Amino acid sequence: MMNAKIKTKFKFQKKDRVTVLTGAGISAESGLKTFRDNGGLWETHQVEEVATPEAFEKDAALVWRFYRQRYLQLADVKPNPAHFALVDLEKFLGDNFTLITQNVDGLHSKAGNKNLIEMHGSLQKCFCLSCQQKFLMSEINLMKKVPSCPVCKGDLRPDIVWFGEIPHHMDEITLRLRHTNYFLMIGTSGYVYPAAQFVQIARLNAAKTIGINLEKPLNSSLIDEFHQGKAGLFLPKLIDCWLNKN
Ligand code: OAD
């Protein structure tokens, strides 16, 4: 497996626009749980109890316990070779590279990606339900069951896009998808919309689509070239091929 020869029919040029969508699978090799695999987060937690606005209204302390724990866990988590490979890709493509992530773990930033859209928010941030001001988690008193705003004392909530809410930066994402030459999706099951639809939008606009995933995602029929395996293993080798480095 380690020496498996990777084959791809694509080569990227500097003028190519490449849009990448990542999901929880890219962070699995950094030690973070995915959502829907065996032992994933949605096996041990009920989505409707921790990831909806209604859940926060019903029991804000429970929701905070879930996100506080996930935030604190990040201190020990490091990017893996798949994250770093995307930094190499961005260095080659410059502004023609866009990284859209559903992940809230901040590992793409930690690795060094700049042109990054965190469509489901960030575990590093929260905002006040009263005055709407945003804060870094590191700036607030996390000891309180429901942390309060340092400015107006209103209730803070994690800056996470919950089920039933509209993801961040959708206009910019749509624009990028319309003008991309290649669309890559990595480590995402294809269950959650609107992200699961991006591959279709890119394809309708004549982009070539590529997938890397441990298991076939739900929307795999829309992928032109699929690589089944671990992102940390496959992505660095694929990027070397796409950039003509071997
Ligand atoms: P999922 O947990 O639904 O899917 C993760 C995918 O990654 C699965 O298809 C796995 O087969 C694959 N995978 C696991 N390990 C991998 C590895 N080492 N390399 C490559 N692939 C691997 O996670 P997402 O698709 O990201 O939203 O889930 C989408 C959204 O659903 C999340 O952003 C989250 C969740 O509810 C919110 O919390 C708002």
pLDDT at 219: 96
Which residue's C-alpha comes closest to atom 25 of ligand 1? Answer: 188
Ligand 1 geometric centre to CA of 27 (Å): 9
Q: What is the mean pLDDT of residues 241-245?
A: 90
Q: How far is the CA of 148 from the centre of ligand 1 (A)?
A: 31
Pocket test for ligand 1, best of 38, 46, 56, 189 (most atoms within 8 A of CB): 189
More confident position, 65 or 5? 65
Q: Among 159, 214, 218, 235, which residue has the most ligand 1 atoms within 8 Å of its CB, making it the best to mutate?
A: 214
Is 219 close to ligand 1, i.e. is its CB under 6 Å away?
Answer: no
120 noted as active-site residue: yes
Q: Residue 1 has what pLDDT? A: 45
Residue type at 225 in one-letter notation: E
40 lines ligand 1 (CB under 6 A): yes
Looking from the CA of 95 toward its CB, the CA atoms found within 13 Å total: 0
Tell me the pLDDT tens digit for each residue of 69-91.
999 999 999 999 999 999 999 99
Does 2 have pLDDT greater than 60? no
Is the CB–ligand 1 distance for residue 102 below 6 Å? Answer: yes
pLDDT at 3 over 60: no
pTM: 0.96
Tell which wins on pLDDT, 234 or 47: 234
Percent of the residues in the chain that have a pLDDT greater than 70, as a whole number: 98
**Ordered DSSP codes for 74-108:** GGG----HHHHHHHHHHHHHGGGEEEEE---S-HH
**Mean pLDDT for all residues in the chain:** 95
* The pLDDT of residue 46: 82
Average pLDDT rounded to a whole number, residues 198-209: 97
Kindly state the average pLDDT of the residues 163-167.
96
CATH architecture of 1-32+79-120+167-246: 3-Layer(aba) Sandwich (3.40)
Cα–Cα distance measured from residue 74 to residue 96, given in angstroms and rounded to the nearest whole number: 30
Classify residue 167 by its DSSP letter: P
Ligand 1 pocket, 230 CB below 6 A?
yes
Q: How far apart are CA 103 and CA 239, in angstroms?
A: 21
189 lines ligand 1 (CB under 6 A): yes
At 4, the pLDDT band (50, 70, 90 cuts) reads low
Model confidence pLDDT, tens digit, residues 184-203: 999 999 999 999 999 999 99
State the Cα–Cα distance between residues 55 and 136, nearest whole angstrom: 22
**What's the full length of the chain, in residues?**
246
Distance from the alpha carbon of residue 102 to the mean position of ligand 1, in angstroms = 9
pLDDT in tens, 16-48: 999 999 999 999 999 999 988 888 887 888 888
Q: Domain 35-76+122-160: give its CATH code.
A: 3.30.1600.10
Atom of ligand 1 at shortest distance to CA of 41?
A: 2
All structural domains of the chain with their residue ranges = 1-32+79-120+167-246, 35-76+122-160
The mean pLDDT of 138-142, rounded to a whole number, is 94
The catalytic position among 83, 108, 120, 227 is 120
Query: From CA 102, how far away is CA 62, in angstroms rounded?
Result: 23
Which residue's CA is minimally distant from atom 16 of ligand 1?
25
